[in-house]
Amino acid sequence: MAAPLVVTLVAHDIGPVGGMERQLSELALGLCRSGHDVSVIARTCELPEGSGVRIHRVWAPRRPFLLGYAWWMVMGSLAVRRHRRGLVQTAGAIVLNRVDVIAVHCCHQVYRPPAPGDAPAQRAYAAFVSLVKRTVERVCFTANTRARFVCVSNGVADEIRRYYPRTRSRVLTIHNGVDLETFSPGARAADSLALRERLALTQDRLLLAFVGGSWEHKGLPSLIRALAGADGWDVLVAGPGDPRRLSDLAEEMGVGERVHWLGVVRDMPPVYGAADAFALPSLYETFSLVTFEAAASGLPVLATPVSGVSELISDGRSGFVIDRDPALIAERLRRLESDPQLRASIGAAARAAAMDFSWQRMIAAHEELYRQLRAGCPQTTAHSAALD
């Protein structure tokens, strides 16, 4: 039997909320359950008591962002130098140390985060933050001349190869996963029914789920506008944000009573279970865990062809590939409204597609990569299937 691996995972945050945070949580716990020696260095870490994971917390301020970013870069690097054990994997370009694996959840040379407001100062600040992230990423990725770059989707891997051509032979894809038992058709049916009752929605009223923050970036205004052309649907919004501005838009469109704001939700299965479809007309994603959770829950998915999603959805079969045009979204919703059998068949196909993306598969692929690195085996460009 192979000797246990010794691995140190380094990230800003690890826990149950957020795609990257959840993936890191599943990876740490899965490795530990398999008998490996796992340490975590993080600003915040929410793992179950008795998990067996060694946790080294590094205090760093969250706001203002640039102060927190620089503070963590220094203090996190010192913590890695002090506490690193075995192979070291970081969640992006977040420390100055040489490491073995860099998990790429976002290529900052491509992604431009939206400004938090319309004021020139806010736009200028967002642009400067983006410049800082791009510069730090380039310095870190270039300096780590031997690290493997593990990308969460084929789309992200293509971006890294394009912007960092010297890494080509060290780039591979290990897709994120989804909990196929927690997120499954009919799971937590009683809780889902209770949610619909709380929202005063009868069972014959169709409900479209939207999950996420950065609402402008992820296309929530387009969904609200689409409601005006899809009378049979309400929209359920789960995620952080201030609804006041978009509530005004909903009222302007005459659909104010059909948009339901839940805020941040830590227990997502009842949300998917209460819905009849899921939509995410986002400008940019790297994997979009919520889309995979919705598909695993058996929901028809309407989403833009961003990274990760394009590897899950087959247009017209397991979902609909859309853009941000409200008229197109409304037309797809009307099709689903008029044909319950179509909703059922697309939802079943979405569930079947999600079955290829389990957490167990993700963890096993990381284990195989770590064993290769420990043995000193050369690593060539590969997709996750080559590591299963």
Domains of the chain, residue spans: 6-177+358-387, 189-354
Which residues make Cβ contacts (< 8 Å) with residue 384, sequence separation at least 6? 172, 173, 174, 175, 361, 362, 365
Q: What average pLDDT score do residues 250-277 get?
A: 96
Q: What average pLDDT score do residues 233-237 get?
A: 97
Q: Is 243 exposed, middle or buried (0-12, 13-18, 19+ CB in 10 A)?
A: middle
Would 6-177+358-387 and 189-354 be classified into the same CATH topology?
yes
Condensed to tens digits (0 to 9), the pLDDT of residues 120-148 reads 888 898 899 999 999 999 999 999 999 99
The more confident residue out of 1 and 9 is 9
CATH of domain 6-177+358-387: 3.40.50.2000
The answer on pLDDT for 387 being more than 60 is no
- pTM for the model stands at 0.89
Return the bridge partners of 236, or none: 209, 260
Q: Residue 237: its pLDDT value, please?
A: 98
For domain 189-354, the CATH superfamily is: Glycogen Phosphorylase B; (3.40.50.2000)
Q: Residue 378: its pLDDT value, please?
A: 59
Kindly report the three-state secondary structure assignment for every residue of 269-321. HHHHHHCCEEEECCCCCCCCHHHHHHHHCCCCEEECCCCCHHHCCCECCCEEE
The answer on pLDDT for 388 being more than 70 is no
The span from the CA of 310 to the CA of 154, in Å, is: 9
Handedness of CA 220, 222, 226, 228 (dihedral sign): positive
Which residues make Cβ contacts (< 8 Å) with residue 251, sequence separation at least 6? none
Which residues make Cβ contacts (< 8 Å) with residue 366, sequence separation at least 6? 27, 31, 150, 174, 387
